[in-house]
A and B are shown apart, each in its own frame.
Chain A
Amino acid sequence: MSELIMSLTWGTLYYATPLTLAAMGGVLSEKAGVVNIALEGFILSGAFAGVCAADVTSKYGVIISGLVGILAAIMIGAVLGFLHAFLTQKTRMDHVVSGLGINLLASGATQYLYLHEYPQGLSVTGIPRWMFLVAALVLPFAVQLLLVRTHWGLKLRAVGESREGASMAGVSALPVRFAAVTLSGVLAALGGAYLSLADDHNFSTDVSAGKGYIALAAVIFGKWNPLGAAGGALFFGFFYALQTELQIRHISAHFLGISWTNSFLLDMLPYIMTIVALTSVIGKAVPPADLGKEEATD
């Protein structure tokens, strides 16, 4: 029994790791007032760039290749995050459309490049998982401190709540939003690098498998608060871990003709919980007031 609890705990932590990383990106971006469904695309691109760079540099040893992999993921995340910021802030594109476009671009480009460059698949030594776990454990507190204790965090929350109000107080929204969304790209891409470099040690075209949307769900579930979002990620991670354990141990429970331990049904839970959280039945989930609003650019 204690062994089951141990493996459930570790499973939860590791499943929650990429969700937490991406969710912190989501918190930063949405707190600054930019809707971010592009997290999915950031994760996928980070996963591919990381594993690709690690593969190219694999002849220089494990440490170098791991580092280069991480750097590549950070870079692609920054580029795509910047793109999302640019499209939503400078061209005033609808935030959801921009996110969808970036997700499509990430999906099409990584799939194309993977099939073309690695028709036989690839495998890398990668990075130990615990490094990402440590990052995921520290990051929510760091983001919380950043938002609550620093001047920049105050500015970020201000432009997310009311861009006009912030601008009247002399805070220009654009630099803050660009930085926040770019950073969100970096963090989500790191979540992707975890999936490819530390977890799978290879790449598959559906490696993100909706984790960006789940991370977004964790953000909402945690009411746009970094610690709450991390809690949401742990909560959703727990259901993944539970699925795995139930499957490995062949545990099943039938009741009223429905197999409640079925992996498809367990998989549904995070999504149902998110909708329930959004309906404000259990406590109110209030998004930043200026989230997704578009005003004329400066």
Chain B
Amino acid sequence: MTANTANRGSQNDSQRAIIRSILRPVGAVTVGLLLVAVFIGASGYNVPQAFSALFIGATGLQLVPFKVNMFPLAQSLAQTAPLLFTGAAIAFALRAGLFNIGAQGQMVGGALATAVVGAWEPSLYSPLHIALCLVAGGIAGGLVGALAGLLKAYRHVHEVLSTIMLNYILADAADYLVTNGLKEHNSMAPQTIKIAHTAYLSPFVSGSGLNAGLLLAVAAAIAVALQIKYTALGFRIRAVGENPDAASASGINVPHVLTTTMFISGFLAGLAGAVLVLGLEHRYIKGMTGTYGFDGISVALLGGASSVGVSIAALFFGGLTSGAGYMSLQTNVPDSIAVVVQAAVVLFAGARALPWRRRQNHTLKTNAATIAGAGGDAAGE
């Protein structure tokens, strides 16, 4: 009897959880866009005009008269690729309960390593050279991530603090290298030499930044989702994310899982830097990594734990960034308005995307079995 009620309760719960997991991000985005409308309207711009420019810039779809512009669409998709990498990186670390704020620094490390390996000219078979560059970028990012993981695992340094610091350290180190040792000799600009042509990712739509990087990002997002779901390591990662004490008690080497998770997360973020170098700039230029690493936090929080969610969120923010640029050209509305949408999304969707929050929500349900379990759980926290 009690078991029956408990069962029905948890079924309702999971249904409600699914509905919530769709409604919350949609609500957050709506609130964000409304906030933007208020901002734009209050400062005297024509709101419908600005929003239609934002829409055209993001999707390339012009409704009256109906026309599809390939270029804006390609630009939005091009923005999506690095965001999907960094978003997937952060979402992946969240599964182990780690909040990787350091995707930005990991991406810088990845971009720099890619530029170095890419500039190497042994006239390799092109796909091989590209693969080599990607691996170099991934490993560089992964090592930066693993450092934060090691600090967390063995010295109990909170990953949020260490990755914030590592972001600055990596940015400074990269700036130092491209103005000194790795600088292109006969140029005034702070940049490395161009990579070899064999390492170029060529654009799908000419002139745009859309290239195979997007396909790689989708593949990577799917790969880590499968890894989390079906491999032993994925199981251990989930176990550590749910309850590190219980995981440790059941024989899981928690420090090892934390370090590995941060390495993989950093690897993905490093790939974001790699595709920017291989597909877009063809070299490392100071400041080229923009804020994709930080934007990845919004992507991960909006997208939640699933790879589909993260992909949709990356697509949304990619379109938003590129659409805001177009809107700014057309209507003079400053494109920093896109950051306001990001803020709204983080503040409205963010908190609930974290696994430990989900768990707590769950334990609050009026369900005898869960409540009994919740006592131990709360003590574990």
Contacts and interface: CB of A to CB of B under 8 A. Distances in A.
Contact of B351 (A93, A111, A280): A93
A274 B157 CA distance: 11
Nearest to A257: B181
A278 interface: yes
A66 to B, nearest CB: 27
B168 A279 contact: no
Contacts, number: 135
Interface stretch (A17-25, A70-78, A97-105, A123-131): A97-105
Given A104-B343, A112-B334, A112-B337, A94 B169 contact: no
Nearest to A259: B180
Interface in B172-226: 172-173, 175-176, 179-181
Interface string B330-358: 00001011111111101100110010010
A221 B158 CA distance: 14
B297 A108 contact: no
A279 B153 CA distance: 11
Contact of A112 (B155, B157, B336, B351): B336
A257 B181 CA distance: 9
Interface of B: 39, 43, 99, 101, 151, 155-158, 160-162, 164-166, 168-169, 172-173, 175-176, 179-181, 297-298, 301, 334, 336-344, 346-347, 350-351, 354, 357, 360, 364, 381
Given A111-B336, A264-B173, A279-B151, A97 B161 contact: no
Contacts of B354: 94, 97
B175 A264 contact: yes
A94 B338 CA distance: 23
A293 B340 contact: no
Contacts of B164: 37, 213, 216
B336 A101 contact: no
B162 A101 contact: no
B342 A108 contact: yes
A100 B346 contact: yes
CB-based closest 5 A-B pairs = A108-B339, A104-B343, A105-B343, A93-B351, A111-B336
Contacts of A98: 347, 350-351
Contacts of A217: 165
A72 to B, nearest CB: 18
Contacts of B297: 100
A275 interface: yes
B176 A104 contact: no
Interface string A120-144: 0000000000000000000000000
B176 A264 contact: yes
Contacts of B360: 92, 294
A278 B346 contact: no
Given A116-B43, A264-B175, A275-B157, A213 B168 contact: yes
Interface in A170-226: 205, 210, 213, 216-217, 220
Interface of A: 35, 37, 87, 91-94, 96-98, 100-102, 104-105, 107-109, 111-113, 115-117, 205, 210, 213, 216-217, 220, 257, 259, 262, 264-265, 267-268, 271-272, 274-275, 278-280, 293-294, 296
Contacts of B101: 96, 100
A103 to B, nearest CB: 8
Contact of A108 (B162, B172, B337): B337
Given A94-B350, A97-B350, A268-B172, A111 B180 contact: no
Contacts of A115: 334, 336
B172 A265 contact: yes
A271 B350 contact: no
A244 B207 CA distance: 42
26 contacts: A92-B360, A93-B350, A97-B346, A97-B347, A98-B350, A100-B297, A100-B350, A101-B346, A101-B347, A101-B350, A105-B344, A107-B336, A108-B341, A108-B342, A109-B340, A115-B336, A259-B180, A262-B176, A264-B173, A267-B168, A267-B172, A271-B169, A271-B172, A274-B161, A275-B162, A279-B151
- Which of A104, A105, A264, A268 has the most chain B CB atoms closer than 10 A to its own CB? A104
Contacts of B344: 105
A294 B357 CA distance: 9
A279 B157 contact: yes
Given A97-B350, A104-B343, A278 B175 contact: no
B160 A104 contact: no
A268 B172 CA distance: 6
Given A37-B164, A116-B43, A275-B162, 16 more contacts: A98-B347, A104-B298, A104-B343, A105-B340, A105-B344, A107-B339, A112-B334, A112-B336, A112-B337, A113-B43, A268-B172, A271-B165, A275-B165, A275-B166, A278-B155, A280-B156
A92 B350 CA distance: 12
A272 B342 CA distance: 30
Nearest to A213: B164
A216 B101 CA distance: 15
Nearest to B147: A275
Contacts of A275: 151, 157, 162, 165-166
